[in-house]
Structure 1
Amino acid sequence: MDTVLQDIVLGNSDEIVKKWINEVEKNSVHKYSLTISEELFDSTNREFVNVIFVSVQNQGSKDDLKDFAERIINFGWPLNYLTEGMQAFRRVTTNFIIERSETLDAERFKQVLESVDEWVDPIVNFLVSEYSGSWESTVSLQKVALQELSAPLIPVMDGITVMPLIGTIDTERAKLIMENLLEGAIKHNAEVVLIDITGVPVVDTMVAHHIIQAAEAVRLVGSTCILVGIRPEIAQTIVNLGIDLSKFPTKSSLRKGFQSALEITDRAVVNLKDKGNEMENMIDSLNKG
């Protein structure tokens, strides 16, 4: 940075900061006033301008700028908060230098003004790059989390697991369903896997193909797959399309599918009250004997 510019900026930092904050608040407060508190907005602005001055003092150190950009992303604020803030700082600094132009000769004055751009532009580019990179990383992590939630395999009993599906099924999601089914069936030692499509709005040829593939894969690892949640309109569509689902059991509801799963695993739901009455009857018969 030009030494004259550095002296001007650091030597008049209080006045420059005051003018910058006034301009930022005037131009941006309406964008954030509905979503954040005035205190947070004010403290963030002061932190922003402090980070800018730290970059001046540290001769290009960008660690604080990087940390600040990450915090802005965590706040959920847009990129233009950073870019508009830096442009406001450029205007304030330039105007401040112009007001004191009489202290510099024409050539030196031109050099100082040019050095403002040479100082601000790299900071803007760095902030944009850091924001974009951090945002892509955040989106990637969120995508992974959503994918894991989009096809969960839930163990409900020893040997019985359920995968509830909601929403449309495309090729990418079908691949995830297949992976989760196989990994979950082995992990939970599942004898029966229930695939619940109650929340799937449309079952066309492609969706049915993916489901059949998933069921066949489950069979190959030693588990039985039951497709449940087949609504009347879905059943009609399957018939009209000539889709063959005869290779594995299908049920209209999760409840009926669970009953079948109990039968396959040699289990039954027993009413404890009835069992108690049965025991009492056995005891009475023994006493009579």
Structure 2
Amino acid sequence: MDRNLKRIALENSDTIVKMWMNEINTIKDGNYTATISDDLFESTNREFVNVIFASIKDQGSSKVVEDFSEKIIQLGWPLSYITDGLQIFRRVTIEYILNNSEKVNSDYFSKVLESVDLWVEPIIRRLVNEYSGSWEHTVSLQRVALQELSAPLIPVLEGITVMPLIGTIDTDRAKLIMENLLEGVMQHNSEVVLIDITGVPVVDTMVAHHIIQAAEAVRLIGATCILVGIRPEIAQTIVNLGIDLGKFPTKSSLKKGFMTALELMNRKIVDLDSKEESIEKMIESIKGE
């Protein structure tokens, strides 16, 4: 940026900032920031303009730009907030310099435009790049977290595990389900696995195929798979599609599936109170004799 124009911008930064704040406040209503509180909007705007002036002074501007981009993402504000704000800043800065110049001709006008562009354009590129990079990183972390939570295998009793499935099952998720299922069965030494599809909204031919593959894979490594959570509409869909689920047990609820799992492992639930009462009666009868 031209040294003289840089001096003018810095010496009159308070006035330029005030003009910019007035301009950006006019676009608040009715756009992406309409629901944001006035205090948060004003504080973020002031931080934004500090980032802009830090770049012209080059005082740790890289770290300032990075931190500001991350903050905008955390707030959930779109990239257009940054681009709109910088375009407004370019306009008000050029307007201020030209209005307060004694002599304005075409050469001076071009010089001002070029100098301000040389100041603002690098900031736009850096902020956009930082925003995009931070956003991609955030999305990547969220994707990994969702994948880890999308097909968990939960041990509920020695030898019995449950995999609750929620949401739509596509090819990628089906692959993840298969991997987690097999790894979990080996890790928890499972004998019976309950696949709960209560939270799966639609079971079509592809979904049923993936579930059958998963159940077959579990069988091959020595465990039994029980499909639970089959609602009436899901059962009707499976029948209409001609899908054969006869190779492994199916139950309408997780409770019924768990009871079947206990039976397969030769276990049962005993009411301790009733058992203690029976023992007491037996002791009393022995004493009576």
2:279 matches 1:282? no
Deviation at 1:60, TM superposition (A): 8.7
Aligned mates of 1:5, 1:29 — CA distance in 2: 33
SS of the equivalent of 1:227 reads strand
- What is aligned with 2:142? 142
Aligned mates of 1:221, 1:3 — CA distance in 2: 75
Deviation at 1:148, TM superposition (A): 2.6
Deviation at 1:2, TM superposition (A): 1.9
One-letter amino acid matched to 1:72: I
What is the aligned residue count? 289
One-letter amino acid matched to 1:126: R
- What is aligned with 1:116? 116
- Give unpaired runs (5+ residues) of structure 2: none
Report if the CA contact (8 A) 2:24-2:85 is conserved. Answer: yes
Report if the CA contact (8 A) 1:4-1:112 is conserved. Answer: no
Q: After the TM superposition, which of the residue ranges 17-26 and 129-138 deviates more from structure 2?
A: 129-138
- What is aligned with 1:50? 50
SS of the equivalent of 1:190 reads coil
1:1-289 → structure 2 map (5 Å cutoff): 1-31=1-31, 34-58=34-58, 61-102=61-102, 107-289=107-289
Aligned mates of 1:78, 1:223 — CA distance in 2: 49
Provide closer, same or farther for how the CA distance between residues 31 and 106 of structure 1 changes in structure 2, counting only shifts above 3 A. closer
Aligned mates of 1:66, 1:194 — CA distance in 2: 47
Aligned mates of 1:11, 1:112 — CA distance in 2: 16
Deviation at 1:204, TM superposition (A): 2.2
Aligned mates of 2:30, 2:229 — CA distance in 1: 49
SS of the equivalent of 1:155 reads strand
Report if the CA contact (8 A) 1:193-1:226 is conserved. Answer: yes
Deviation at 1:34, TM superposition (A): 5.0
Deviation at 1:32, TM superposition (A): 5.8
One-letter amino acid matched to 2:165: L
Deviation at 1:179, TM superposition (A): 1.5
Deviation at 1:236, TM superposition (A): 3.3
Report if the CA contact (8 A) 1:227-1:251 is conserved. Answer: yes
Provide closer, same or farther for how the CA distance between residues 109 and 242 of structure 1 changes in structure 2, counting only shifts above 3 A. closer
Report if the CA contact (8 A) 1:196-1:227 is conserved. Answer: yes
Deviation at 1:201, TM superposition (A): 2.8
Deviation at 1:151, TM superposition (A): 1.9
- Give unpaired runs (5+ residues) of structure 1: none
Deviation at 1:108, TM superposition (A): 4.4
TM-score normalised by length of structure 2: 0.92
Deviation at 1:218, TM superposition (A): 1.6
Deviation at 1:269, TM superposition (A): 1.0
One-letter amino acid matched to 2:56: V
Deviation at 1:100, TM superposition (A): 2.4
TM-score normalised by length of structure 1: 0.92
One-letter amino acid matched to 1:260: T
One-letter amino acid matched to 1:40: L
Aligned mates of 1:256, 1:80 — CA distance in 2: 53
Provide closer, same or farther for how the CA distance between residues 267 and 34 of structure 1 changes in structure 2, counting only shifts above 3 A. farther
One-letter amino acid matched to 1:66: E
One-letter amino acid matched to 2:247: K
SS of the equivalent of 2:247 reads coil
Aligned mates of 1:63, 1:7 — CA distance in 2: 24
Aligned mates of 1:220, 1:231 — CA distance in 2: 27
Provide closer, same or farther for how the CA distance between residues 60 and 99 of structure 1 changes in structure 2, counting only shifts above 3 A. farther
